Structure 1
Amino acid sequence: MTKPPLLMLVHRIPYPPNKGDKIRSFNLMKQLSLDYEIHLGCFVDDEFDLQYITKLNQWCKSTRVISQNKWLAKLIGLTGFISNKPITLPYYFSLGMQAWVKKMLHQHKIKDVLVYSSSMAQYVEQDQFTDLNRIIDFVDIDSDKWQQYASKNTGIKRWFYQREARLLQQYEQHICQSFTKSLFVSNDEAEAFRQLMPKSLVDKIQSLLNGVDTDFFKPDSELTATETKLPKQFIVFTGAMDYWANIDAVIWFSQQVWPSLKAKYSELEFVIVGGKPSAEVRNLTLVDGIKVTGRVVDVRPYIQHSLFAVAPMLIARGIQNKVLEAMAMNKAVICTSMAMEGINAPKETGAIVVDGKQEFIAACLNQLKQPQPQLSRQWILDHFTWPNTLKQLLNLFATRPSA
């Protein structure tokens, strides 16, 4: 069988699938590789991931992977002030990537393009590419995240974030208008984007739900962490710990909720699991009972052996993979309504949704005192497995596999 070619552009290498954006991009790549010869262009912004570049050959016909120095990229991003662009566009622009894209499109006569994140749309947004079937996976509304950042700051930072939100929303509308389809990670996110766009564009906007690998994330009492001895009694937060929304969440929990829990349960510990913890997160280890692991080989033992997981997100968009993964392992998850957005699990599953300091404290204390039986895994099996969520993916593309 001859597979048709497909160009896939991703802002961060989609392997290993160990953080939110990479989990989704990896599963899209993996699914599409069954029916298409994928030509993948992406960046690597973490030296740890350089070892995995050759792994991409399992799913891709060809790759163009460009190493990105974050500090240099930030400086280049500031040129957006000169060109009146959102800084995320020059941040992710590369002449080498642009040349490779043009070469692949011409050499392989590619008709279908999947762009993952708005920052990569710049490589195929020009008029010369209007004959292509261009699909953009925005994942979530980036402009709104910048607006949320603005609302939590003052002065020059507030102005900076508001500028990025405004320009990025304008760019999102331009891409939505130019491309064939705009995808989002949940029905809630797609509907929120429709409200921001002109009515003429609403039919171009649809959801493509995230999933979770339920064969990997499943209850297993034999799971044991290899790096460190697990505490006897602990609650857990998982996520990339250089990401502002996660940093904000654990700091809020540590300051507002944790002291009340520790006062009642002196042996209890709070374990923050995730790579590249910021200085603010590392400093939380100075608080009695809080541990920060940094990058771990396998996050599952920490979920499995925890009393429950928390996701106290105060800044969020889309679907929280940390919530899906804990639910898939049949763990209680105490989270804010922002963290549950897009998942919308009913109370009967055991998912506990609360907002506010006192409500969060009460929910955690109730769970510690009288743990509730969990039915959350069945909700995930029914609604959030990758084979189910990606069923409509092939319908988006113009070309089809042929014998």
Structure 2
Amino acid sequence: MEILFLAHRIPFPPDRGDKIRSHHVLRCLSAMAQVHLGCFADDPEDRACEGDLAAMATSHLLLERRKSLPVAGLEALAGGLPISVTAFRDHRMTRWVEKTLRERPITAIYLFSGQMGQYVPDDFSGRVIADLVDVDSAKFEAYGAAGRGFRAWMERREGRLLRAEESRIARRSHTTLLVSEAEAALFRQRLDDLQCAVAALGNGIDSAFYDPAVVIPEPEMAGWPAPRLVFTGQMDYAPNIAAAERAIGRIMPLVRKRFPGASFHVVGRNPPASLTRHDGRDGIRIWGRVADVRPFLAAADMALVPLEIARGVQNKVLEAMSMGLPVVLSPGAATGIAAQDGREFLVGTDDAALAEAICALAAAPSRARSIGLAARGWIDAHAGWPAALAGLPALLGLSKPGISDAA
């Protein structure tokens, strides 16, 4: 069996949510078939990982994205298309896909993200698995509803056109995958063809890698007074920016009334000026890109994840739980994680509730340790990648004892 894997980003290094998932899916697929991988690089760091990609894939094409967002926007407006689709439209990828399908006995195409659905030829007769991960159209609809002016209009437009594209991909595919049962249920509700097969394929985590027993805390961060709160993620991503700004402007002031030494540490690449201007003020530290997020998790007393717009399962929550951190989070950030509120993490419905949960943990270190240990135990029992991806062989038409078709 030979598989064509198409991803909007190179699955290396696995250092952000989408890359973590695509990396482990690619690893699973390459263990059972020859895989031909077409994907895009965002920056020189991505290009530097091409050797890792070549070691796992039988053949590959890695393209640097040349199209700027303004150019993609103009092209999308002219063509009546979603911007997030035109941003990844490249004739070089189209030609490589056509050549690979012509020369190799490809029996299945695995799409990772809706942006790559445009590359599946209409006449391909094999099985197509579309891993959309999240319902992106719903995310843009939420942006549009919360905003105003031209940007909100563009986001509403993006949501409407992406919804149509997601439905088209679902009709074209043997099965459409989402990251959780909740996300899959939302997708089914939005489909214009109820006969499409939709299933959940959850995320996992490498708990041996995210293990506090093998990580040395980041020394500078560990030197700050307790409680030290951490938020991790890609910091040029709008929901992460909004969550960090919420923590800085609305939650931490409430916490610091009771614990004046409390600090909030933002760890992740490309933080915007709206965040970096807070660095060094009122217990805020903006670290930016780091080589390894684990030492920062190890140096923290708890993780704060106050996402207001969240789709799918948050890897940042799983990573913090695996590192034995008590996690205080919003209901959206907890979606798709079947841990128990009050035992493996603490959910706060508003700013005051989140601040109160943080203060309660800071005032009772033994309870914080208990929740962190319970979180680590839950990860060990429920969130490994082998279990999460056990259904892939059946989805791709390979027989494997004990695995049924997830659709």
TM-score, normalised by the number of residues in structure 2:
0.93
* 2:64 matched residue in structure 1: 67
The alpha-carbon distance between structure 1 residues 392 and 399, as it changes in their structure 2 partners (threshold 3 A), is closer
- Mapped to 2, the partners of 1:222 and 1:140 lie a distance apart of 31
Using the TM superposition, give the Cα deviation of residue 102 of structure 1 relative to its aligned residue in structure 2, in angstroms: 0.6
Of residues 36, 40, 44, the one that matches 2:41 is: 44
Using the TM superposition, give the Cα deviation of residue 148 of structure 1 relative to its aligned residue in structure 2, in angstroms: 1.3
Cα deviations by residue, 1:278-313 (Å, 9 ceiling, x for unpaired): 111212215311001111111111111211001000
- The answer to whether the 8 A contact 1:184-1:207 is kept is yes
- Mapped to 2, the partners of 1:355 and 1:348 lie a distance apart of 13
Of residues 198, 212, 217, the one that matches 1:219 is: 212
Of residues 155, 161, 164, the one that matches 1:167 is: 161
Using the TM superposition, give the Cα deviation of residue 223 of structure 1 relative to its aligned residue in structure 2, in angstroms: 1.2
Of residues 144, 152, 172, the one that matches 1:150 is: 144
The alpha-carbon distance between structure 1 residues 75 and 264, as it changes in their structure 2 partners (threshold 3 A), is same
SS of 1:200's partner is coil
Of residues 115, 122, 125, the one that matches 1:119 is: 115
2:89 is equivalent to residue 93 of structure 1: yes
Using the TM superposition, give the Cα deviation of residue 348 of structure 1 relative to its aligned residue in structure 2, in angstroms: 5.2
Counterpart amino acid of residue 200 in structure 2: S
- The answer to whether the 8 A contact 2:317-2:327 is kept is yes
* 2:105 matched residue in structure 1: 109
Using the TM superposition, give the Cα deviation of residue 36 of structure 1 relative to its aligned residue in structure 2, in angstroms: 1.1
- Mapped to 1, the partners of 2:35 and 2:357 lie a distance apart of 46
- Mapped to 2, the partners of 1:77 and 1:260 lie a distance apart of 40
2:24 is equivalent to residue 31 of structure 1: no
Counterpart amino acid of residue 88 in structure 1: S
Counterpart amino acid of residue 384 in structure 2: T
SS of 2:234's partner is coil
Cα deviations by residue, 1:134-162 (Å, 9 ceiling, x for unpaired): 11000000001101111221011111110
- The answer to whether the 8 A contact 1:8-1:40 is kept is yes
SS of 1:241's partner is coil
Cα deviations by residue, 1:193-214 (Å, 9 ceiling, x for unpaired): 1111146335x00000000111
The alignment yields a C-alpha RMSD, in angstroms, of 1.7
* 2:404 matched residue in structure 1: none
- Mapped to 2, the partners of 1:75 and 1:286 lie a distance apart of 37
Bigger shift: 264-273 or 29-38? 264-273
Where do 5+ consecutive residues of structure 2 fail to align?
Answer: 401-407
- The answer to whether the 8 A contact 2:215-2:294 is kept is no
- The answer to whether the 8 A contact 2:12-2:49 is kept is yes
Using the TM superposition, give the Cα deviation of residue 377 of structure 1 relative to its aligned residue in structure 2, in angstroms: 1.3
* 2:345 matched residue in structure 1: 351
SS of 2:106's partner is coil
- The answer to whether the 8 A contact 1:111-1:399 is kept is no
- The answer to whether the 8 A contact 2:212-2:324 is kept is yes
2:287 is equivalent to residue 293 of structure 1: yes
Counterpart amino acid of residue 53 in structure 1: E
Using the TM superposition, give the Cα deviation of residue 176 of structure 1 relative to its aligned residue in structure 2, in angstroms: 0.4
* 2:405 matched residue in structure 1: none
2:327 is equivalent to residue 333 of structure 1: yes
Using the TM superposition, give the Cα deviation of residue 379 of structure 1 relative to its aligned residue in structure 2, in angstroms: 1.3
- The answer to whether the 8 A contact 2:218-2:299 is kept is no
The alpha-carbon distance between structure 1 residues 227 and 18, as it changes in their structure 2 partners (threshold 3 A), is farther
SS of 1:291's partner is strand
* 1:386 matched residue in structure 2: 385
SS of 2:291's partner is coil
* 2:251 matched residue in structure 1: 257
Using the TM superposition, give the Cα deviation of residue 87 of structure 1 relative to its aligned residue in structure 2, in angstroms: 1.1
Cα deviations by residue, 1:246-283 (Å, 9 ceiling, x for unpaired): 00000011111111222322222211011111111212
- Mapped to 1, the partners of 2:380 and 2:314 lie a distance apart of 16
Using the TM superposition, give the Cα deviation of residue 47 of structure 1 relative to its aligned residue in structure 2, in angstroms: 2.1
Bigger shift: 232-241 or 248-257? 232-241
- Mapped to 1, the partners of 2:308 and 2:285 lie a distance apart of 21
* 2:358 matched residue in structure 1: 364
Using the TM superposition, give the Cα deviation of residue 76 of structure 1 relative to its aligned residue in structure 2, in angstroms: 2.6
TM-score, normalised by the number of residues in structure 1:
0.94
Bigger shift: 49-58 or 244-253? 49-58
- The answer to whether the 8 A contact 1:225-1:298 is kept is no
- Mapped to 2, the partners of 1:369 and 1:221 lie a distance apart of 27
- The answer to whether the 8 A contact 1:308-1:334 is kept is yes
Of residues 255, 265, 275, the one that matches 2:269 is: 275
- The answer to whether the 8 A contact 1:140-1:185 is kept is yes
The alpha-carbon distance between structure 1 residues 93 and 350, as it changes in their structure 2 partners (threshold 3 A), is same
2:175 is equivalent to residue 178 of structure 1: no
- Mapped to 1, the partners of 2:146 and 2:339 lie a distance apart of 28
- Mapped to 2, the partners of 1:28 and 1:161 lie a distance apart of 30
Which structure carries more relative contact order (alpha carbon 8 Å, separation 6+)? 1
The alpha-carbon distance between structure 1 residues 147 and 271, as it changes in their structure 2 partners (threshold 3 A), is same
Bigger shift: 28-37 or 341-350? 341-350
- The answer to whether the 8 A contact 2:141-2:159 is kept is yes
Between the aligned residues of both structures, percent identity stands at 34
- The answer to whether the 8 A contact 2:267-2:290 is kept is yes
Bigger shift: 59-68 or 216-225? 216-225
- Mapped to 1, the partners of 2:142 and 2:253 lie a distance apart of 27
The alpha-carbon distance between structure 1 residues 378 and 256, as it changes in their structure 2 partners (threshold 3 A), is same
Cα deviations by residue, 1:224-252 (Å, 9 ceiling, x for unpaired): 33787753431100111111110000001
Using the TM superposition, give the Cα deviation of residue 378 of structure 1 relative to its aligned residue in structure 2, in angstroms: 1.6
- The answer to whether the 8 A contact 1:73-1:92 is kept is no
- Mapped to 2, the partners of 1:24 and 1:346 lie a distance apart of 24
